[in-house]
Amino acid sequence: MHAEMLVLQFSRKVVDQPIIYRLVKDFNLEFNLLKAAINPQQEGVIVMELRGHPQDFRRGLKFLRDAGVQVKRVAGEVRRNDELCYQCGACTAVCPTGALYIERPAMSVAFAAERCSACELCCPVCPARAMEVKLNRNAI
Ligand code: SF4
Ligand code: SF4
């Protein structure tokens, strides 16, 4: 069994197609969805762990690429630079695992590194660039 955490980015052209259904049905793959933000007629992003026999996994990735889905492997480590973070909270809206969350009653933004999947969705939304990637994920 092979398993990897992936970020799939869908263009407008393919966002309405049953891509994930095909991965399960045609390639015998299993998935654990962490985040799906897809709007009809617009671009979308899915963060998920994909599992299956290595050969099925490779065939499934080829199917995704051929369908026009951009697939990136989560291979890095994401850390917060606490000196840069000014607690604005923007990152908590996109974090799929709850690693970034509002701590009450102080209303401070906490980072639980052990829950982080290194999907990097928080990096571009942080105005302070406080979320840093140690190793870059690779396009596959
Ligand atoms: S990389 Fe950022 S958005 Fe992704 S799980 Fe880790 S803290 Fe959350
Ligand atoms: S978006 Fe950046 S600055 Fe704002 S709370 Fe998150 S890590 Fe801190």
Domains and CATH numbers, the chain: 2-73 (3.30.70.260), 78-134 (3.30.70.20)
Q: Is 100 in the pocket of ligand 1 (CB under 6 A)?
A: yes
**90 compared with 1, residue with greater pLDDT:** 90
In this structure, are residues 99 and 118 in contact, taking their beta carbons and an 8 Å threshold? no
Task: Give me ligand 2 centre to Cα 122, in Å.
Answer: 8
**64 compared with 44, residue with greater pLDDT:** 64
Q: Is 120 in the pocket of ligand 1 (CB under 6 A)?
A: yes
- The pLDDT mean for the chain works out to 88
In this structure, are residues 75 and 133 in contact, taking their beta carbons and an 8 Å threshold? no
Q: What is the pTM of this model?
A: 0.65
| pLDDT on residue 137 | 47
Cβ count within 10 A of residue 109: 19
| pLDDT on residue 40 | 67
Task: Give me ligand 2 centre to Cα 82, in Å.
Answer: 9
